[in-house]
Structure 1
Amino acid sequence: MIIVLGLVSALQTGLIGGFAGYYLSESLYDEIGQRALMVSKTVAAMPAVIQGVRERDTESLMALSERLAETNEALFIVIGDHNAIRLAHPDPDRLGHSMADDDGDSGTLALEQGQAYVAKALGSLGLSMRGKAPIVDVSNGEIIGIVSVGYSLDQVFSVIQRYNRVLYTVMGMMLLGSVLAAIIIAGRFKRAIFGLEPEEIAALFQERDATLQSVREGIIAINRDGIVTTFNRTAIETLGLDPDTRLAGQPIERILPENNLMTALETGESAFDQEVWLQGQQMIVNRLPVKQGDETIGVVASFRLRDELDQVSRQLTRIQQYADTLRSQTHEYSNKLHTIAGLIQIGANEEALALIGNEVSDHQALIHLLLEAVPDPVLAGCLLGKYNRAREMGLKLVIDPDSQMADVPPKLPRDQLVSVLGNLIDNALEATRQFHGEGGLVHLSMTDLGHDLIFEVEDQGPGIPPDQHERIFERGVTNKQDGDHGIGLYLVRQFVDRWGGSVTVESLQPSGSRFTLYLSKTPKPSPSPGQSEVNAS
């Protein structure tokens, strides 16, 4: 780079310097020629010169020509008659001879055509620029002689050499400055590419491309303008796009609306192992900003479908929930059995029978209601578990006897439905226990009439201020003071938005809140390829 920039600079400087020198020389030649022409015209028009030529007064013309040459700093002033015979010359030995002896020019244009002109010639006094003009007798207009004024070109050469020295000095400084600039630019450029040579950069690019294509996760990178710069084939396959699709150069918003990559670009914050939904499929996504100094210049995202390990993890979570439910039931029935045994031992048989009957009656009524109103076993099992959980907490979950939830769409994911409904019920139980204490009630009503599935959960908690009704669904926003909260309602809103529906919250009097969940029986259409909707959940 240094050599190339130096050679280019030298070539440019040489061309500019050569043109400047040539233009300067031509300008000086032209200036000297015009000066010689002007002096010759002036001398030819002088009355003393006209009279001296008419009278062939050589002596007066010699004196006059010498004085005029000295006054005008000319090399010579030669005066000739109408036959170009010298009447005045710096060298007296040349008087009486033809002016053509000097340069072969007898002044034909001036003597015969009356024109004044400029000529460059090598004469007896050296190389000179000459101006020649006819001498005209004003009395009759007849051409009676010629004047030749010469300026030595050695003077021009000395001026040109002086200017050339300055010009060459400037050219050398320009060339030196260009070389220094080339060194600085090359150094900064090499630092910018981490000291790598072009061949090394090409090898790294090939390695990077091979690495991208070998990774089993989808990878997409964007620049600071949100334009896709890097992607691999797995990304196209995972997103369900056309295999021939070229993502590079396209805005990320056109390919993945609501992708949150632009948010990561603006905040410069990393995000790891977040759930992402794409066309009804769960993915795990990582977002990592690319920084240059303190400035975020892009974002790299990697994503993959939830694999078998994730599926096993979810199954283990469900098993843990079932185990917790069984534990609470075991604990509750163990306490009741001990109570019944104590009543029998003290002879309170009627009280023992009443307790048994009440227990059997409550469970039979709940089971009968669930069998009639909720044919789906997964949903019914969730409600039964929450009912037992409420009893363990000293609360009561009351299910509206007029509830009906039989028309659940087959495509609605049951695990996600019970997760959303379970979050609402758990929040209601926690709020009721903290504010009301034991004996508090949580009401649940369900209906599948119309085009939506509607779930209403009412609690006896402290309530939610009106200005928090929307913020409560944001990630990390919670009214709880302990633990890692602020996720449940966020997941509820994400599921509702993805499926198609809504969730609202109302404040009750004197206290409490009502959450109403609407889920459309018709699933929300999946985005078309290239416009897939991706929501973090």
Structure 2
Amino acid sequence: MRWYPRTLAGQVAALALAVFAVVVVAESVLAAVDARIDGNRAARAEVTAVAVSLAESPSTVAALTSADPSAVLQPVTERVRAATGIAFITVLAPDRTRYTHTDPTRIGEPYLGSIDAALRGQTVTENYTGTLGPSIRTIAPVRTPDGRVVGMVAAGITQRTLTSAWRGQLPLIALAAFAALATAVGGVWWIRRRLLRQTGGLAPGELRLMYDHHDAVLRSVREGLVVVEDGRPALVNSEARRLLGIEADTSPDDLPAFLTDGDEETDVTYADRGRVLLVSRSPVSGRRRSSVVTIRDRTELEEAMGELDSMTRFAEALRSQAHEAANRLHTIVALVEMGRPDEAVRLATTEFELSQQLIDRMTQAVAEPALVALLLGKTAQAAERGIPLSLTEESQVSDAATRILTPGEMITVVGNLIDNALDACDPADPWVEVTVVGDDRMLDIVVADSGTGMDAELFKRATTRGYSTKAGGDAAGRGLGLALVAQVVARRHGTMSAENTYGSVITVRMRADDQGASRS
């Protein structure tokens, strides 16, 4: 059978109660001892004061030199003894003969205490066992004006009286000790209840095991984990710090607000500090503004999906053009069979010339094949939607521009900006205009459309989390275009801005010097 409490709260309470009990008992014993010491000290001072006062009284000197000292001194000493409460006052001659005594029958008998020091004119206090039992007594000499010792005064308090006095204080000491112990028990009981609530009634070993497992889980989990308590991050595991790009010694208060604020949500996309994050938040039952937040990294996946989406749309455009080319080919064959070859040749060469002119124009302006393919695909896609998409005359991109952005990053930036422009342009007057200028020192990408554009706050929101102006834009997987562009721009230390001039214009600027300075 266990003789000690199982829970941590019970063990703390038992230890605290034991400490309080020891302290209270020790204090009570010390108080009793102190009361006895104080009683003895006070008794010594009192008997000394009585003996000295009587010895120095002129009436005592006169009585000792009279014919019958006892007749004069006995009434006086009894009145003083009754008034002061001491045990005895004895006036004696230099030969030890008693002139006064508490028991009148002992008057005339010799005094039993030490008188040598008093005969030499000294006042002495001592513990001595006399006719009344053990006592504390003081003997003082009685001198004549010329200094001759004509007698002595002895005053004393018995140990029985002293014991009764300090024992009379024991009930008060016991009452104070009981009150202190009762207060301690009440406090310990309150502490135990509070600890039980905070520890869930677990034993120390169970708490240690839980902590070890908890620590192991936090280290091994492959997702970022943030525990929010009362609106403040209480725990951030190492994976969350890695995904958020913060150091191990960074204060949790520096975490992005979207981790600590908000209601329950599942797989909501946010962009923060160069990463696209998938965030889920689960409130803690019964705790206000407390939740558990999990974070997953979707940066590389979203970039790959963006590139795949661009390529998919380009392939769809090619399939659409192939289908259209097949229709035109059937038409040309039919015209030839109808004996109208001139019209067949004119139809074939006109479409070919227009397509070739577009390919030649883009090939001459843009040296990167992947970017050319993207622009051709987006042009075909825009044409299907009835939106004119044009590459401006000042566009010129050399092979050296890949030193600033890789082909994949170019596809991500240009493709998402064009997609955003196609979705945002004015349906009543749709158009999209693309300008790309770049070499080994700089790269500027400008995409304009006929839409209403975004103000500064809306643009910031669109580039810092998954947001879209389309219906359902805040849902997971929607509105990541500008966020993905912002990730590339941040990674390459460029700038991104939006303005409303001749249309809605988004500009991305990157400089080789900025990237080199950042790396150094």
Bin for the TM-score computed over the shorter chain: 0.7 to 0.9
Deviation at 1:203, TM superposition (A): 2.5
Structure 1 residues 109-508: aligned runs within 5 Å:
109-112=117-120, 114-138=121-145, 140-212=146-218, 214-215=220-221, 217=222, 230-231=237-238, 250-251=249-250, 260=255, 264-265=259-260, 272=267, 274=269, 286=279, 294=287, 303=296, 317=309, 320-330=312-322, 333=325, 356-406=348-398, 407-409=400-402, 412-436=405-429, 440-449=430-439, 451-464=441-454, 473-475=463-465, 478-480=468-470, 486-508=479-501
Separation in structure 2 between the aligned mates of residue 177 and residue 34 of structure 1, nearest angstrom: 38
- What is the CA deviation profile of residues 13-47 of structure 1, one whole-angstrom value per residue up to 9, with x for unaligned ones? 12222222222222222222212211112222233
Q: What letter matches 2:380 in structure 1?
A: N
Q: What is the aligned-residue identity percentage?
A: 26
Separation in structure 1 between the aligned mates of residue 191 and residue 490 of structure 2, nearest angstrom: 54
Paired residues of 1:34 and 1:131 also in contact (CA < 8 A): no
Separation in structure 2 between the aligned mates of residue 268 and residue 295 of structure 1, nearest angstrom: 11
Q: What letter matches 2:390 in structure 1?
A: V
Paired residues of 2:431 and 2:449 also in contact (CA < 8 A): yes
Relative to structure 1, is the Cα distance of residues 405 and 80 closer, same or farther in structure 2, using a 3 angstrom cutoff? same
Relative to structure 1, is the Cα distance of residues 14 and 457 closer, same or farther in structure 2, using a 3 angstrom cutoff? same
Separation in structure 2 between the aligned mates of residue 501 and residue 412 of structure 1, nearest angstrom: 11
Q: What letter matches 1:106 in structure 2?
A: S
- Alignment match of 1:75 (pick from 68, 71, 87): 87
Q: What letter matches 1:74 in structure 2?
A: I
Paired residues of 2:20 and 2:184 also in contact (CA < 8 A): yes
Answering whether residue 58 of structure 2 is matched by residue 47 of structure 1, we say: yes
**Residue 36 of structure 1 aligns with which residue?**
47
- What is the CA deviation profile of residues 264-300 of structure 1, one whole-angstrom value per residue up to 9, with x for unaligned ones? 246687674757789x9x7866575896954667976
- What is the CA deviation profile of residues 243-266 of structure 1, one whole-angstrom value per residue up to 9, with x for unaligned ones? xxxx86x2268xxxx984565246
Separation in structure 1 between the aligned mates of residue 277 and residue 404 of structure 2, nearest angstrom: 22
Deviation at 1:175, TM superposition (A): 2.2
Paired residues of 1:393 and 1:433 also in contact (CA < 8 A): no
Paired residues of 1:432 and 1:461 also in contact (CA < 8 A): yes
Deviation at 1:342, TM superposition (A): 9.7
Deviation at 1:391, TM superposition (A): 1.0
Relative to structure 1, is the Cα distance of residues 521 and 356 closer, same or farther in structure 2, using a 3 angstrom cutoff? farther
- Alignment match of 2:15 (pick from 1, 4, 11): 4
Paired residues of 1:117 and 1:131 also in contact (CA < 8 A): yes
Separation in structure 2 between the aligned mates of residue 343 and residue 67 of structure 1, nearest angstrom: 157
Structure 1 residues 79-94: aligned runs within 5 Å:
79-94=91-106
Partner SS for 1:384:
helix
Separation in structure 1 between the aligned mates of residue 149 and residue 340 of structure 2, nearest angstrom: 164
Deviation at 1:333, TM superposition (A): 4.8
Paired residues of 2:270 and 2:466 also in contact (CA < 8 A): no
**Residue 515 of structure 1 aligns with which residue?**
506
Separation in structure 1 between the aligned mates of residue 458 and residue 271 of structure 2, nearest angstrom: 26
Structure 2 gap segments, 5+ residues each = 1-10
**Residue 60 of structure 1 aligns with which residue?**
72
**TM-score when normalising by structure 2:** 0.80
Partner SS for 2:465:
coil
Partner SS for 1:409:
helix
Paired residues of 1:222 and 1:252 also in contact (CA < 8 A): no
Paired residues of 1:40 and 1:149 also in contact (CA < 8 A): yes
Separation in structure 2 between the aligned mates of residue 312 and residue 501 of structure 1, nearest angstrom: 21
- What is the CA deviation profile of residues 443-487 of structure 1, one whole-angstrom value per residue up to 9, with x for unaligned ones? 222211462111222222334457756555453555545655643
Relative to structure 1, is the Cα distance of residues 339 and 294 closer, same or farther in structure 2, using a 3 angstrom cutoff? farther
**Residue 8 of structure 2 aligns with which residue?**
none
Structure 1 gap segments, 5+ residues each = 242-246, 529-537
Paired residues of 2:272 and 2:464 also in contact (CA < 8 A): no
Separation in structure 1 between the aligned mates of residue 124 and residue 57 of structure 2, nearest angstrom: 18
Paired residues of 2:50 and 2:155 also in contact (CA < 8 A): yes
Deviation at 1:8, TM superposition (A): 0.9
Paired residues of 1:221 and 1:231 also in contact (CA < 8 A): no
Partner SS for 2:214:
helix
Q: What letter matches 1:177 in structure 2?
A: T
Moved more, 325-334 or 88-97: 325-334
- What is the CA deviation profile of residues 149-181 of structure 1, one whole-angstrom value per residue up to 9, with x for unaligned ones? 223443332332221112112212322332343
Relative to structure 1, is the Cα distance of residues 311 and 459 closer, same or farther in structure 2, using a 3 angstrom cutoff? closer
Relative to structure 1, is the Cα distance of residues 304 and 295 closer, same or farther in structure 2, using a 3 angstrom cutoff? same
Q: What letter matches 2:36 in structure 1?
A: S
Partner SS for 1:187:
helix
**Residue 27 of structure 2 aligns with which residue?**
16
Paired residues of 1:264 and 1:299 also in contact (CA < 8 A): no
Separation in structure 1 between the aligned mates of residue 111 and residue 276 of structure 2, nearest angstrom: 105
- What is the CA deviation profile of residues 334-382 of structure 1, one whole-angstrom value per residue up to 9, with x for unaligned ones? 7767887999999998777655444222211111122222232221111
Q: What letter matches 1:121 in structure 2?
A: Y
Relative to structure 1, is the Cα distance of residues 311 and 186 closer, same or farther in structure 2, using a 3 angstrom cutoff? same
Relative to structure 1, is the Cα distance of residues 292 and 198 closer, same or farther in structure 2, using a 3 angstrom cutoff? farther
Relative to structure 1, is the Cα distance of residues 517 and 106 closer, same or farther in structure 2, using a 3 angstrom cutoff? closer
